[in-house]
Amino acid sequence: MPEAPKSQMPARRKARKRALDVLYEADMRDMAPGEVLDAYVKRIEQPRPEHLGYAMGLVEGVATHLDRIDELIASYAEGWTLDRMPVVDRNLARIAVYELLYVEEIDDAVAITEAVELAKQMSTDDSPRFLNGMLGRIAEFTHH
């Protein structure tokens, strides 16, 4: 099946991709996500895409709850430390865990699937399976 053109990518997935870009840059440059987000938003041309609000909410939410999110990732990433994880995977996991814990209207399965789909496009061959397993365990733990 041919890949859908970018314009057909669902808005929330575009938002997650933007949030990933910001969190990735913040991680690589050892900067606060909020600082990177401010600069990122300034670079976006008007009219700004409607999914930008969700992307900003993801970045801000991850930044606010980073300690709790990273604690869960570290606990459930069997055999991996946060530091050794690929940067893309670490930040996709952060977005998904934020959605699992704090975004009521997103189903757990959707949060996990979205992280896995973006990992397929942007990370290593092992990443989708790794994220799927880890996020599944976190979802199970946090929703009992």
pLDDT tens-digit map of 11-46? 999 999 999 999 999 999 999 999 999 999 999 988
Domain coordinates in residue numbering, the chain: 9-142
Contact (CB, 8 A) for 138 and 72: yes
Q: Respond yes or no on whether the N-terminal peptide bond of residue 10 is cis (omega within 30° of 0).
A: no
Could you say which residues of the chain have pLDDT below 70? 1-8, 144
Q: CATH fold of 9-142, please?
A: N-utilizing Substance Protein B Homolog; Chain A (1.10.940)
- The structure's pTM equals 0.91
Q: What is the pLDDT of residue 60?
A: 98
Cβ count near 20 (within 10 Å): 23
Cα–Cα distance, 111 to 135 (Å, whole number): 9
Q: What is the pLDDT of residue 45?
A: 87
* Torsional class of 30: left (φ above 0), alpha (ψ -120 to 50), beta (otherwise): left
